[in-house]
Amino acid sequence: MRTARLVLVVTLNLLALTSPASSFAQRTAKPVLHGRHWVAITGKPLAATAGAMMFQKGGNAVDAACAMLGATSTMWDVLSWGGETQALIFNPNTGDVIGINALGAAPAGATANFFLEQGLSYPPSLGPLAAVTPGTPGGLMVMLAEYGKLGLADVLGPSIQMADGYPIEASTANSLERNKRRIKEWPYSAAVYLPHAGEEREAPSGGEIFSQPDLAETLRKLVQAEAEALEAGASRKEAIYAAYERFYTGDIAQEFVRGAQEQGAQITMQDLANWQVYIEEPVMTTYKDIEVYKLTTWVQGPVLLQALNILEGLDVESMGYNSARYIHTLYQAMNLAFADRDFYYGDPYFPPEEPIAGLLSKDYARQRAELINWERNDPDIGPGDPYPFQGGTNPYLHYLEEGWETTWPPASRASGAALREAEEAFYLGTTSIQAADEEGWVVSVTPSGGWIPAVIAGRTGVGISQRAQSFVLDPAENPFNVIEPGKRPRATLTPTIALKDGRPFVSVAVQGGDSQDQNTLQFLLNIVEFGMNVQQAVEAANFNSYQLRGSFRNHSSVPGRLLLNDAVPAWVSAQLREMGYNLTFGARTSGPLNAIYFDWEHGTFWGGASNHGDDYGIAW
């Protein structure tokens, strides 16, 4: 009888893992968000309301996304106005997916030798020397000018109201309190973040009205520049660009540079004037009959496409959702793709040219897939050579032949403090923004940078991005991502839009540093292979690899380290341990995913937002 009961339990567990209609996949903490006319989802409820307000004013999804971007930046939702913005936009008038590159660049003086002479292995993770130029203001204004319908006064209205004072969330308020020792190093930051200086609790409390008068003034100056241009006869677009110029070359720029340099940053007026937003063509691959679009190598986006190319030749569905074989297969596919990311990705506007055609070749993916050890994890997997797949010769093959793994800092494969630092840095957050409307516009954004504790630049109220930490100093580690003035670091931020039959299929973005494309990959497979709806897919139990080289702080790697969700059965964990994995567990195993699924049969939107964090959506 005990044997029969054991067989029954094992059989039920197998069914739970392999059935897309399993009970744990069907039950969700949040309901699907249904809308017919529009949908707006982001990291904070108040910011989602800002997006809804734009739709009520007659705006489109771009207007809504810009309003949510401004609101989340004002709320310090793990970013600020001095951070960076990257977006994908589906234009229904052309059927094209458009990329927006508003990532800040390294300032004058930010060379590898500068940091090496200070005894550093990487640029610092905090403070004025971690700074790149602000990108979010420019990204917002370019998106709005080129693809929106409303003016800056409308779109920045919610942000200005919030800068005048809004009830701060406990999570943000507590983050300020936890970081107050560092905050006090920078006088303009302390004046904004710590309104109760000298008291036991110096940061605001949850629900307290948090005011940022300097930021409110900066935003009003942008609206003023727009109004003056309109009064002088400028078009809507020209007026928005007049505000852009005021931020990057006018009095706002002057105060930003003065305040940043006073505190030790290297940013100059010329850095701001030379920086620009790129409107670019994204990269794409097909997975079965779905076109998946990502931004190119200045972020980690192509790594998702590489992983999909590797997995396309395998029968993923038959492995069963979150079975040991499925987890092992995805882990190995991701390791192959991330090893290429860590060596070949960088700013495509700076030489050398990244081998993106070879990296996204289906033939290259098949070659990489042949390296998978089906019995055990391979802790030593390294980059491949994509150059032959685009008819070229690899100019950096000598780095790989000399032993690429030796370029890791000595602590990177350690345990203890190094391991804890790797895990903390791995999930450095941001926010994400999703918007769509009945006209067909779709926007997916993953902004970040200038998070708490940020250096606030003078009396602008603008926190400076810390993204320079994502550069490397040693070309043997990644010859495409060595810091130099004017260059953009290879960031982790990575929105996704997928099309099917030429129409939007899903739009998704997720916060969480190096885990972003790992969790987006699993989200897409949850829908395509396992038949989950969008809310089930964003709440589903994910897993994550730490084997890649981290993009923050000391760029640590922990080969074989695997984060599993508590929902994974013990017998699956036992199999994975036998395959050489070092397991860690958690109830939350991804950053919050925000997504929209397009139901063309009924002409409706299905919105999904993860069941943890403050992420929230509104639809109509």
Residues in the chain: 620
Q: With beta carbons less than 8 A apart as the criterion, state whether 108 and 265 touch.
A: no
Q: How far is CA 379 from each of CA 226, 307, 515, 536, 550, rounded to the nearest angstrom?
A: 55, 17, 18, 32, 15
pLDDT tens for residues 307-322?
Answer: 999 999 999 999 999 9
Question: What pLDDT sits at residue 513?
Answer: 85
Q: Report how far Cα 266 is from the mean position of its chain's Cα atoms.
A: 25
For the chain, which residues score pLDDT lower than 70?
A: 1-26, 406-429
User: What are the structural domains of the chain?
Assistant: 281-434+491-619 (3.60.20.40)
Q: With beta carbons less than 8 A apart as the criterion, state whether 77 and 172 touch.
A: yes
Which residue type, as a one-letter code, is found at position 88?
L
Question: What pLDDT sits at residue 403?
Answer: 78
Q: Using DSSP, state whether 523 is helix, strand or coil.
A: helix
Which residue from 498, 499, 476, 473 is spatially nearest to 487, judged by alpha carbons? 473
Question: What pLDDT sits at residue 337?
Answer: 98
Residue for token digits 């550093």?
A: 120
Question: What pLDDT sits at residue 614?
Answer: 85
Question: What pLDDT sits at residue 277?
Answer: 98
